[in-house]
Structure 1
Amino acid sequence: MQSAETRALMERYYAALTTADRDTMLECLDPEVTWVLPETAAQGNAVDTMTGAKEVVEALGGRVVRQTFDISQPINLEVRRMIVEGSTAVVQQRLTATAKATGRDYDNQYCWVYDCRDGLIAHMEEYTDTLYAAQRMGWDTA
């Protein structure tokens, strides 16, 4: 893919992600997309990689948000920077919300690396401060 095509795909995906437009999110993802979670987030969990567009959309398009954040409070996903080269995109973002389990403010930075092919997102890797997330969410860090 050319950089302009990748950028257009990523902008469409993020517009859908921030409005929970699950249908458009599905249209942006390869049916066999993989989402690699941060290693420390995966420790102790059964899943370290999610596979399949439907599973990824179910998680990012609602389930994770509902389980993790107080949806009665504002949730904001801000794309701070998007760098695109060919079929690869790197997106720096900031997520602010209220942690559901603790009621604490949540303000974390993320970096996502995307590999695209044939007009779809085929692979995504998430990087974030998982210790901060665990502390804000009240998760066991032992």
Structure 2
Amino acid sequence: MGAVPSKQVIMDAWRVFATRDPGRVGALFTPDAEWLAPPGNATALALDGTHHLIGRDRIVRFLTEEFPAVFVDDVSVTFTGVHADGDTVVAEARLRATLAHGGHYDNEYCFVFELESGLVRRVREYMDTQRGAAWFRAPATAEPAGG
């Protein structure tokens, strides 16, 4: 049996992320993996301000402990496109969830995954940072301006 296509590696990875199982999540990343997001994004600010996660253990902590502390309920990720070229996969997605303050979150993302030997070596995450921040400020019953 041949290697799993890179697009399938990433689709399977998202299902594993949802388990919040540190062992399973960690098995997806190289030891020196990096996850880069825009500086000052709302999720990073809600946590420790870090937008550049370095190392498998740090990424696992984010995905299994910190992410669920911010996005506390009704988390859904809907993929609108997944494109692969060799060991690079681009995934377009919409994240919806209930935030820790009880408000709603709804934002679109683009992730660029770089694989190495079937493992995630680097993730570059892009989103509308202003829209994301507005959801973190919005009361539970309101949609942010422009949303």
> Structure 2-normalised TM-score?
0.79
Aligned residues of 1:16 and 1:24 also touching (Cα < 8 A): yes
What count of residue pairs does the alignment treat as equivalent?
Answer: 133
Q: Deviations over 1:17-52 (max 9, x none)?
A: 123233222111111101111134268x75231111
Seen in structure 2, the aligned counterparts of structure 1 residues 138 and 114 have a Cα distance that, compared at 3 Å, is same
* 8 Å contact kept, 1:29–1:122: yes
Does residue 56 in structure 1 map to residue 59 in structure 2? Answer: yes
Q: Which runs of 5+ in 1 are unaligned?
A: none
RMSD of aligned residue pairs (Cα, Å): 2.3
Secondary structure of the equivalent of 1:75? Answer: strand
Paired position in structure 2 for 1:83: 83
Alignment of 1:111-126 (within 5 A): 111-126=110-125
Q: Would you say the 8 A contact 1:3–1:85 is kept in 2?
A: no
Partner of 2:35: 35
Structure 1 runs (4+) deviating above 6 angstroms are none
- Identity across the alignment (%): 23
Query: Matched residues in 1 for 2:80 and 2:22: separation?
Result: 22
The reply to whether residue 9 of structure 1 matches residue 9 of structure 2 is yes
TM-score, with structure 1 as normaliser = 0.82
Could you list the runs of 5+ residues in structure 2 that have no partner in the other structure? 139-147
Shift of 1:7: 1.8
Contact 2:28 2:120 in 1 (8 A): yes
Tell me: CA distance 1:135–1:3, structure 2 relative to 1, closer, same or farther (3 Å).
farther
The structure that is helix-richer by fraction is: 1
* Distance of 1:46 and 1:97 partners within structure 2: 20
